[in-house]
């Protein structure tokens, strides 16, 4: 059983801030910023890519509701909502989770940066992807 399944089963303690029949949300141990929260489905999916659409729809609705609550109550100025899929994308726990990361100012502990990289053939990519 994965570590988040153990948290859901209450075999490992967590600071739970929301729970319903399908979803649980608990504070991330790392607290990248104050209020950093993880929202997880109770059924195990590795990540967004293998999750069934109904569960995902409910998960993102709960995530939105909690992001508003956390931003307001922590008096944050903004919030990042993100999810990593697979190790190459930075996923370290292979149980689907959305991060809610309240933002306080540009100098807080998280940096999300889109760097310039090699030029791409947009027409070829469009043909590949549409």
Q: Least CB distance from residue 119 to ligand 5GP, whole Å? A: 30
Determine the Cα–Cα distance for residues 106 and 112; give it in Å rounded to an integer.
10
- Give the footprint of ligand 5GP on residues 54-93 (CB under 6 A): 84, 90-93
> Could you confirm whether 36 is annotated as catalytic?
no
Q: Least CB distance from residue 3 to ligand 5GP, whole Å? A: 5
Partner from ligand 5GP, Zn ion, none contacting 95, C-beta within 5 to 8 A by type: Zn ion
Task: Sort 123 into a burial class: Cβ within 10 Å, 0-12 / 13-18 / 19+.
Answer: exposed
Half-sphere exposure of 102 (CA within 13 A, CB side): 21
Q: Which helix (H) or strand (E) holds 78?
A: strand 78-82
Task: Sort 84 into a burial class: Cβ within 10 Å, 0-12 / 13-18 / 19+.
Answer: middle
Q: Least CB distance from residue 103 to ligand 5GP, whole Å? A: 16
Among 8, 24, 26, 40, binds ligand 5GP (CB under 6 A): 26
Contact set with ligand 5GP (CB under 6 A) = 3, 12, 14, 26-30, 38, 84, 90-93
């Amino acid at each position: 059983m994965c570590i988040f399944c153990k948290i859901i089963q209450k075999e490992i303690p967590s600071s739970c801030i929301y729970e319903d029949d399908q979803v649980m949300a608990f504070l991330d141990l790392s607290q990248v910023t104050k209020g950093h929260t993880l929202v997880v489905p109770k059924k195990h999916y590795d990540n967004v890519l293998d999750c069934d659409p109904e569960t995902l729809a409910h998960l993102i609705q709960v995530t939105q509701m909690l992001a508003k609550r956390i931003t307001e109550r922590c008096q944050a100025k903004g919030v990042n909502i993100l999810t990593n899929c697979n190790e190459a994308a930075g996923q370290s726990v292979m149980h689907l989770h959305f991060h809610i990361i309240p933002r306080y100012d540009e100098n807080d502990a998280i940096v999300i940066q889109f760097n310039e990289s090699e030029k791409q053939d947009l027409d070829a990519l469009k043909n590949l992807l549409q």
